[in-house]
Amino acid sequence: MEENRKKGTLCIVVPCYNEEEALLTSARLLLEKLGGLKDRGIVSEKSRIIFVDDGSKDKTWELIEQLYGENREITGLRLAHNRGHQNAILAGMMYAKDYCDYTITIDADLQQDVNAMELFIREYEEGSEVVFGVRNSRKTDGFLKKLSATFFYKTMRFMGANIYENSADYRLMSAKALDALSEYGEVNLFLRGIIPDIGLRSSVVHFDVFPRMQGESKYSLSKMLTLAADGITSFSIKPIRLVFCMGILALLVGFGMIIHIVYEHYFGYTSDGWSSILMSIWVLGGAILLSLGIIGEYVGRNYMETKRRPRYYFWQTLSHDDNCKACSCKPCSDEKNT
């Protein structure tokens, strides 16, 4: 039976890390957007905006508290410390999944075109459980970011990960898709790779990206490299196979060298061989170290995964909704006690 997918309840999930400069402007624009969607009967009156403070060190949480005080449509979640963009999005989506029909995740700087939301929702109403946002171009990125992103997506695809090139964390997920996502227990999260792996009906929406208006990028080089490493190692064992192939190659070269040395020995052309030995030591030593490093990376990640530590922990929760299960904030406790 085809369920009625018109006028569902939307939760817009916004991860925020040190976003005091951008937050108020973005909140105003998002409230306008949500108001418009409600007025036009596209989403239900219960729809919300969820700000997830990812352990910010500036005034982000105070601003979220202020926004929560002024608007019934705003929910605030505060993570106990900085767990990274991917975990902040996950925390918001997992919190929202029992309340809403679908979520749309968007960055707090609103670099992604909010007007694509209607297109996301239309795809959902037509039956998609996941709608992937794919950026139209990388015009707003610097040369280095453009180059590293292209390299990253090409590597990911070569490694066998099922990932859309230039996909972003601007996407719609239905409650059903969120339920499926909650079954993935891994700690090293790379949502752009995991979500296509869920396999439910999906579609793609293209959107424009604008330059960041307030504040600076919160994605430091080390955060970007960690994300890339998470992406590659959590989806593929190809690096290990590559090491295996390198090992075979090195062995073949070694055998070739033995034949060469025996030949030289018998025909009396022996030289002292100092340079070739030294080179072999360096090349083989390097290959061994590299191999150990890659294997170590997997072993290390395996070790982290076996701990099954919680990926986030809510410190404080601000919600105007009675059925927010995880809520223990003062307004809600007061309401429950009366």
Which residues make up the interface to ligand UDP (CB under 6 A)? 15-17, 19, 54, 82, 84-85, 88, 107-109, 111, 217-219
Kind of pairing between the strands at 167-174 and 102-105:
antiparallel
CB of 215 to Mg ion, least distance (A): 9
For residue 88, the partner it binds in ligand UDP, Mg ion, none, with Cβ less than 5 to 8 A by kind, is ligand UDP
19 binds Mg ion (CB under 5 A): no
CB of 37 to Mg ion, least distance (A): 23
Would you say 109 or 129 has its CB closer to Mg ion? 109
The residue nearest ligand UDP at its CB is: 217
Would you say 19 or 73 has its CB closer to ligand UDP? 19
Q: How far lies 159's CA from each of 97, 193, 334, in Å?
A: 31, 12, 53
CB of 15 to ligand UDP, least distance (A): 3
Would you say 87 or 202 has its CB closer to ligand UDP? 87
Would you say 107 or 169 has its CB closer to Mg ion? 107
For residue 52, count other CB atoms closer than 10 A to its CB: 31
Would you say 9 or 82 has its CB closer to ligand UDP? 82
Q: How far apart are CA 318 and CA 50, in angstroms?
A: 9
Q: How far apart are CA 8 and CA 88, in angstroms?
A: 24
Helix (H, G, I), strand (E, B) or coil at 59: coil
Given a contact cutoff of 8 angstroms between Cβ atoms, the answer to whether 192 and 152 are in contact is no
Would you say 168 or 329 has its CB closer to ligand UDP? 168
Using CB under 5 A, which residues numbered 136 to 175 contact Mg ion? none
For residue 84, the partner it binds in ligand UDP, Mg ion, none, with Cβ less than 5 to 8 A by kind, is ligand UDP
Give residue 271's identity as a one-letter amino acid code: S
CB of 89 to ligand UDP, least distance (A): 8
CB of 217 to Mg ion, least distance (A): 6
How far is CA 105 from its chain centroid? 11
Structure-token pair, residue 210: 């604008």
CB of 72 to ligand UDP, least distance (A): 23
CB of 16 to ligand UDP, least distance (A): 5
For residue 53, the partner it binds in ligand UDP, Mg ion, none, with Cβ less than 5 to 8 A by kind, is none
Helices 191-198, 85-96: crossing angle, 10 deg rounding: 40
Given a contact cutoff of 8 angstroms between Cβ atoms, the answer to whether 157 and 92 are in contact is no
CB of 212 to Mg ion, least distance (A): 5
Q: How far apart are CA 195 and CA 231, in angstroms?
A: 12
What residues are paired with 204 via a beta bridge? 132
Range 78-93 burial, b when 16+ CB lie within 10 A, else e = bbeebbbbbbbbbbbb
Range 103-120 burial, b when 16+ CB lie within 10 A, else e = bbbbbbbbbbbbebbebb
Would you say 87 or 233 has its CB closer to ligand UDP? 87
How many residues form the binding site for Mg ion (CB under 5 A)? 3
Kind of pairing between the strands at 10-16 and 102-105:
parallel
For residue 135, the partner it binds in Mg ion, ligand UDP, none, with Cβ less than 5 to 8 A by kind, is none
For residue 314, the partner it binds in Mg ion, ligand UDP, none, with Cβ less than 5 to 8 A by kind, is none
Q: How far apart are CA 185 and CA 219, in angstroms?
A: 24
- Phi first, then psi, for residue 271 (nearest 5°) are -110, 180
| The one among 47, 75, 105, 111 contacting Mg ion by CB under 5 A | 111
* Residue reference for tokens 């995964």: 305
For residue 82, the partner it binds in ligand UDP, Mg ion, none, with Cβ less than 5 to 8 A by kind, is ligand UDP
Would you say 17 or 120 has its CB closer to ligand UDP? 17
* Residue reference for tokens 């909704």: 321
| The one among 109, 113, 123, 129 contacting Mg ion by CB under 5 A | 109
What is the contact surface with Mg ion in residues (CB under 5 A)?
Answer: 107, 109, 111
